[in-house]
Amino acid sequence: MPLLPLLALDRLGATLFERWGKLDMLVGNAGLLGVLTPLAHVDPKEWNRVMAVNVTANWRLIRSMDPLLRASGAGRVAFITSSVGHRAPMRAYWGPYAISKAAMEALARTYAVETAGTGTTVMVANPGALRTKMRAQAFP
């Protein structure tokens, strides 16, 4: 993911603050499957791209939106995940995606603990199998 969209996430919070002063709900739903291949064959650029979308973008959203969610007094945050991040046994060749989803879930759980008692509620939701382009890519 190029740096510019990530920087735009950083500016988004300030823009929303200027307009509304708070944020009642945030849904982290971006996801990138990446290449299905053995871990030893993953290109570093591909690894970074998957981590940027699935983990780093969600962290930047938290950084940018946290003050707005707290200002709401009843902010709600939902991160969309997949069973691949915690399934046992793991799927072979799904390394970057599975690892990034596990990291995103840890990010969400950490944020949930850090916002306990503030009125902000954080959840991780797994909607199950959905008919999406990503699913078609994973299961042609």
pLDDT 10s digits, 2-61: 555 767 888 899 999 999 999 999 999 988 999 999 999 999 999 999 999 999 999 999
Q: Please give the model's pTM, rounded to 2 decimal places.
A: 0.86
Q: Exposed (0-12), middle (13-18) or buried (19+): which is 127, by Cβ within 10 Å?
A: exposed
Strand order in the sheet with 25-28: 25-28, 76-80, 121-125
> Is residue 25 helix, strand or coil?
strand
Q: Which of 79, 94, 97, 111 is catalytic?
A: 97
Q: Which whole number is the average pLDDT over 115-135? A: 83
> Is residue 98 helix, strand or coil?
helix
CA angle, residues 39, 87, 6, in degrees to nearest 5: 60
Name the nearest CA neighbour of 84 among 67, 70, 61, 100.
100
C-beta neighbour count of 100 within 10 angstroms: 26
93 is catalytic: no
